[in-house]
Amino acid sequence: MEKEPLVLQETLEDTFGSNVFNDAVMRTRLPKNIYKALKKTIDEGLPLDPSVADVVANAMKDWAIEKGATHFTHWFQPMTGITAEKHDSFISPTSDGRVILEFSGKELIKGEPDASSFPSGGLRATFEARGYTAWDCTSPAFFKDKTLYIPTAFCSYTGEALDKKTPLLRSMEALSKQAVRVLRLLGNTTATKVTTTVGPEQEYFIIDKKLYDKRKDLILTGRTLFGSKPPKGQELEDHYFGAIKERISGFMAEVDQELWKLGVLAKTKHNEVAPAQHELAPIFSTTNIATDHNQLVMETLKKVAARHGLVCLLHEKPFAGVNGSGKHNNWSMSTNDGQNLLDPGKTPHENEQFLLFLTAVIQAVDEYSEILRVAAANPGNDHRLGANEAPPAIISIFLGEQLSDILEQLENGGAKSSKSGGELRIGVTTLPTLPKDSTDRNRTSPFAFTGNKFEFRMVPSSASIAGPNTALNTIVAEILSRIADRLEKATDVDAEVQAIIKEIIKNHKRIVFNGNNYSDEWVVEAEKRGLPNIKSTVASIPYLISDKSIKVFENHGVLSKVELHSRYEIFLEEYAKVINIEALTMLDIAKRQILPASIKFAGELAASINKIKSATAKASTAAEEKLLVEVSAVVDSFSANIAALEKAVEEAEATSGDALKHAEFYRDVVFTTMAKVRVDADKLETLVDASIWPLPTYADMLFNV
Ligand code: ADP
Ligand code: MG
């Protein structure tokens, strides 16, 4: 008799990172000198010796093949905001007609995907189609789907960044350089590198695949273009942190497993505010890795959902009238001598270093808020920022009571104390007394200080976090560089630090707002303070190519004028394309599903009225007639609005010569006409027989899983 194989339960420690060519794997698989050389490149940013690459490539290949890999791919992040990959197999022919498996250092370091099919915003036309991917050894390679994945940066023949990763890496270097300068001047002799750290909290919706398949709008645009409010929404607040349903928790468990294997530190999961909305938060890591990992998180959520008959929606606003999704980009700076530069410590009022870095961030955000605004803009986010039901698109900083108090003391002479949180007494003797945080939370602030980091909460849920972090790193690097310049010239560094902090508080305190950002009063107040309120993606994009923006990005070698212009073109084009697809999808559903169903219903009503009338003159048909009149009236208006939308889409073509005008036309004419079409359709949904209505409703989709 055959024995059952002994299956050992894989422990979480074994699973974690098991598909990553990480430090532990490199240490065991690489010769000592090679390992050391590679580490130097990773940790100190020294150029990589090509002979090292050969050895590393070979070790990577052996490791991947043991796991069952047949291919390798350069994994990159073009301006589409998602990832791209082209797979090559390891095989190489021998003279006797067989194959051997090979992977050279050259193949590891450099790839050559055709750049012409990715958005380049004019860079491509000028510099031909050739594009290169270059190995980013600071983010570990990993194994997935029988393939060795090599994280890479993507650039043109002449070195212009065609992707989101190159500028991000440049911005990290820029920030490190300036932060280290400041630290030196403050007397720190040990830190040689400062990395920005990020923990992005990812929000998403989960719905049933069977319902999704019946909605062309979800399939083609990621959001519902139609749908009236369900009888139940989020008003009972029973979903947030609620018990996770079995089907969802099965899905989440599998997501965690997959992510852990890839070395993603998936940590927290919970139900979000809206029904069917959830969140996944990883433990923070280096910005570059966090950005790669966030891409893996988004991809894994979608992939695993499909296995469970579910669909994951990453769109910022899949359902109108229901909370949207964002990404909370928790950001800080940490030194390689072990300090978090935004950690206030126990007595922040005495912590000069903390106060200097804190105020540097405050100044950066105030001075360059337009840049952060563009970085958080995408067509989906227009439904969240500055829209009726969302916070205004005004950037401000929440500091909380303790820090605000310290800054006030500093402005008025000097800080003598830090308010402490004290203890929390719950009033039940068996419950422990908890130390209280020194600040409460503020869930309405777009940029909130949360203890030892800032949380940039405007970031779109579907987008790469590379852009927001590139912006953040660059503007903070700029302020730090100015601070370093001043300190270098100072005779009394201590006094100069005090003066700088005081000056920043005085000049930039307008950006600090601890109140309710969702209130109407804030919009008025912000205007009084002179804070920009940039209401749409299209309105924000031109700030990318303002003199101020070009200067700061060029100053730190993050993006050149040409690269900024290419992004300006790409973002505007993307906006126009997205709205165009939405409009066409809307027209398709309106004309081929909603209109016919409504007409059919009206016909049935008419037939039933006639039938009743011919059966007996005594029965009243008043209700049917009233309904018929109402339906017909809405159908009339609907049909007229459909015609208007068709015309708008046609007219949009004529504006395509100028990217800005084109995008503006889509925003001002096409998008607004779409809203009118929707109003009629949503009204019809409430009138037409449910058995005829062609689309799953909000209630179906939001309460079905
Ligand atoms: P909070 O309670 O403020 O939400 P959490 O500890 O739950 O804080 O963290 C939220 C997110 O912020 C997590 O992804 C976490 O890893 C991340 N985070 C924590 N510390 C830092 C840091 N120093 N830099 C960047 N992100 C951080
Ligand atoms: Mg949070």
Query: Model-level pTM?
Result: 0.93
396 lines ligand 1 (CB under 6 A): no
- Per-residue pLDDT band for 123 (boundaries 50, 70, 90) equals confident
**CA nearest ligand 1 atom 23, residue:** 332
Q: Taking the domain 12-163, which CATH number applies? A: 3.10.20.70
- How confident is the model at residue 5, as a pLDDT? 54
- Nearest residue to 655 (alpha-carbon basis) of 579, 566, 548: 579
Rounded distance between C-alpha atoms, residue 532 and residue 510, angstroms: 12
- Per-residue pLDDT band for 1 (boundaries 50, 70, 90) equals very low
pLDDT at 468 over 80: yes
- How confident is the model at residue 295, as a pLDDT? 97
pLDDT at 515 over 60: yes
- How confident is the model at residue 429, as a pLDDT? 63
| Residue 358 CA, ligand 2 centroid: distance in Å | 19
**CA nearest ligand 1 atom 5, residue:** 283
Q: Report the atom number in ligand 1 closest to the C-alpha of 450.
A: 3
Rounded distance between C-alpha atoms, residue 373 and residue 385, angstroms: 10
- Per-residue pLDDT band for 486 (boundaries 50, 70, 90) equals very high
Mutate to test the pocket of ligand 1, among 203, 291, 328, 330 (most ligand atoms within 8 A of CB): 330
* Cα of 196 vs its chain's centroid, Å: 17
DSSP secondary structure of 21-85: --HHHHHHHS-HHHHHHHHHHHHH-PPPPHHHHHHHHHHHHHHHHHTT--EEEEEE-BTTSS-EE
CA–CA–CA angle 298, 304, 306 (5° rounding): 105
638 lines ligand 1 (CB under 6 A): no
Q: Report the atom number in ligand 1 closest to the C-alpha of 330.
A: 26
Check if the beta carbon of residue 284 is closer than 8 Å to that of residue 333: no
- Residue at 109: amino acid letter: I
Q: Report the atom number in ligand 1 closest to the C-alpha of 268.
A: 7
- How confident is the model at residue 438, as a pLDDT? 62
453 lines ligand 1 (CB under 6 A): yes
Q: Which residue has the higher pLDDT, 572 or 14?
A: 572
- Per-residue pLDDT band for 428 (boundaries 50, 70, 90) equals low
Q: Report the atom number in ligand 1 closest to the C-alpha of 451.
A: 3
The domain segmentation of the chain, as residue ranges, is 12-163, 171-227+236-419+446-559, 576-613+620-702
Helices and strands in the chain: count of H runs, count of E runs: 25, 19
- How confident is the model at residue 114, as a pLDDT? 76
pLDDT in tens, 600-620: 999 999 999 999 999 999 999
Mean pLDDT of the region 555-565: 97
- Percent of the chain predicted with pLDDT > 70: 94
Q: Report the atom number in ligand 1 closest to the C-alpha of 340.
A: 23
CB-based contacts of 658, cutoff 8 Å, min separation 6: none
pLDDT in tens, 162-212: 999 999 999 999 999 999 999 999 999 999 999 999 999 999 999 999 999
- Per-residue pLDDT band for 389 (boundaries 50, 70, 90) equals low
Q: Which ligand is nearest to the CA of 201?
A: 1
Q: Report the atom number in ligand 1 closest to the C-alpha of 342.
A: 23
283 lines ligand 1 (CB under 6 A): yes
Rounded distance between C-alpha atoms, residue 342 and residue 354, angstroms: 6
| Residue 342 CA, ligand 1 centroid: distance in Å | 12
Check if the beta carbon of residue 643 is closer than 8 Å to that of residue 650: no
Which bin fits 187, alpha (ψ -120 to 50), beta or left (φ > 0)? left
**CA nearest ligand 1 atom 14, residue:** 199
Lowest mean pLDDT among 124-133, 467-476, 490-499: 124-133
Rounded distance between C-alpha atoms, residue 295 and residue 81, angstroms: 9
332 lines ligand 1 (CB under 6 A): yes
Question: In 3-state terms, what secondary structure has residue 212?
Answer: helix
Q: Which ligand is nearest to the CA of 334?
A: 1
- How confident is the model at residue 6, as a pLDDT? 52
Mean pLDDT of the region 391-404: 91
| Residue 455 CA, ligand 1 centroid: distance in Å | 8
Q: How far is CA 321 from CA 123, 275, 383, 702, in A?
A: 40, 12, 10, 12
- Nearest residue to 497 (alpha-carbon basis) of 161, 149, 173, 186: 186
- How confident is the model at residue 418, as a pLDDT? 79
73 lines ligand 1 (CB under 6 A): no
- Nearest residue to 155 (alpha-carbon basis) of 78, 82, 50, 87: 78
CA–CA–CA angle 9, 13, 18 (5° rounding): 90
363 lines ligand 1 (CB under 6 A): no
pLDDT at 433 over 90: no
- Domain at 171-227+236-419+446-559, CATH from 3.30.590.10, 2.60.110.10, 3.30.70.2660, 3.90.950.20: 3.30.590.10
Q: Which residue has the higher pLDDT, 292 or 46?
A: 292
| Residue 366 CA, ligand 2 centroid: distance in Å | 22
pLDDT at 432 over 80: no
- How confident is the model at residue 27, as a pLDDT? 96
Lowest mean pLDDT among 36-50, 434-448, 494-508, 690-704: 434-448
120 lines ligand 1 (CB under 6 A): no
| Residue 328 CA, ligand 2 centroid: distance in Å | 6
331 lines ligand 1 (CB under 6 A): yes
For the domain made up of 576-613+620-702, the CATH class stated in words is: mainly alpha
281 lines ligand 1 (CB under 6 A): yes
Q: Report the atom number in ligand 1 closest to the C-alpha of 441.
A: 3
Query: What average pLDDT does the structure give for the chain?
Result: 92
Check if the beta carbon of residue 377 is closer than 8 Å to that of residue 541: yes
Lowest mean pLDDT among 2-16, 32-46, 458-472: 2-16
Mean pLDDT of the region 256-261: 95
Lowest mean pLDDT among 46-50, 535-539, 625-629: 46-50
Q: Which helix (H) or strand (E) holds 202?
A: strand 194-208
Mean pLDDT of the region 685-697: 97
DSSP tag of 116: G
- Read off the tokens for 529: 């303070």
Mutate to test the pocket of ligand 1, among 288, 453, 472 (most ligand atoms within 8 A of CB): 453
pLDDT at 139 over 90: yes
- Percent of the chain predicted with pLDDT > 90: 78
330 lines ligand 1 (CB under 6 A): yes
- How confident is the model at residue 157, as a pLDDT? 79
Q: How far is CA 641 from CA 319, 590, 675, 676, 679, in A?
A: 22, 10, 9, 7, 10
439 lines ligand 1 (CB under 6 A): no
- How confident is the model at residue 299, as a pLDDT? 97
Burial grade of 545 (CB within 10 A; 0-12, 13-18, 19 or more): middle
The stretches of 393-465 forming alpha helices (DSSP H) are 400-411
Mean pLDDT of the region 92-121: 88
